[in-house]
Chain A
Amino acid sequence: MNNDYLDPINSLHVPELADTTFAMDLLLRAKEGVRNIAVALTESASPDVRTLLRNQLMQGIAMHQEITELMINKKWFHPYELSEQYKLDQLSANNTLMIGKMNLFPVETNRKGMFDRTPDDH
């Protein structure tokens, strides 16, 4: 671990890290989508809205399944081995902590003084 954001060592494995992060984000969105559509279905009464939502619900579930399988095959997600998943979680938690400790904005970023008056004064 180091706190230097310019150190090239930190750019190692970034593409893989990015892929896992985006895949997890996609999985969570698919999951949220399925739940939202199911809730919407319980609130809709007109037949065409219901058939539309039902089709989308089935597509959403299939999509969720596909992403889950992809993530399991790529070993980005271990629903069956909790110890494996724990290692992965530790890894990403430590990475996040490391980024949080980096001094990403070393120079002064205060923009006070760039404008001679506040927008309301115009």
Chain B
Amino acid sequence: MNPIIETLTGMDALSDQVVAMDLLISAKSGIRNYAMAVTEAGTPEIKEMLTRHLVEALDMHEQISTYMTEKGWYHAWDTNEQISLDLNNINTALNLPTL
């Protein structure tokens, strides 16, 4: 987006990192929802569909987490690194002006 419009609308806080994190969390809750739904379904047709969707959600989750790891926005292997990133993000969110 145009940097000036971004600042004007307060959208500069909504960085790619935030969007990617949102996508990751959605994918994660999606997988959990699917797992619940699959074990409730009995009709083969519905079960097959939900299983397929579960696999697709798993692929999506994997893709996003790999992407975020490559970008350095997600440190699954380095807790300390992840904690400092978290603290940084917390402060960014806390210091955001309320529109």
Tell whether any CB of A sits under 8 Å from a CB of B in the complex: yes
Given A41-B58, A42-B61, A50-B62, are A72 and B32 also a contact pair (CB < 8 Å)?
no
What 1/0 mask marks residues of chain B from 52 to 68 whose CB sits below 8 Å from any chain A CB?
00100010011001000
Assembled-state Cα–Cα distance A41/B34 (Å): 13
Interface size class of B (residues with CB under 8 A): 20 to 34
Chain B CB within 8 A of A65 CB: yes
* Inter-chain contact total with CB atoms closer than 8 Å: 46
Which B residues touch A61, using CB under 8 A?
A: 38-39, 47, 51
CB < 8 Å neighbour of A45 from B27, B31, B42, B76: B76
Secondary structure type dominating chain A contacts:
helix
CB neighbours of A35 from chain B (8 A): 32, 35-36, 39
Is B32's CB under 8 angstroms from A42's CB?
Answer: yes
Number of interface residues of A (CB under 8 A): 21
For B34, B36, B38, which residue has the most chain A Cβ atoms within 10 angstroms?
B38
CA distance A35 to B40 in the complex (A): 11
Taking a contact as CB atoms under 8 Å apart, the answer to whether A38 and B35 are in contact is: yes
Chain A residues whose CB sits within 8 angstroms of the CB of B35 once the complex forms: 34-35, 37-39
Give Cα distance in the complex from A37 to B36, angstroms: 11
Chain B residue nearest in CB terms to A35: B35
B42 with A39: CB separation less than 8 A: no
A-B contact pairs, 27 of them (CB 8 A): A34-B35, A34-B38, A34-B39, A35-B32, A35-B35, A35-B39, A37-B35, A38-B32, A38-B34, A38-B35, A38-B54, A39-B31, A39-B32, A39-B35, A41-B31, A42-B28, A42-B31, A42-B61, A45-B69, A45-B76, A45-B77, A50-B62, A57-B54, A61-B38, A64-B38, A65-B44, A65-B47
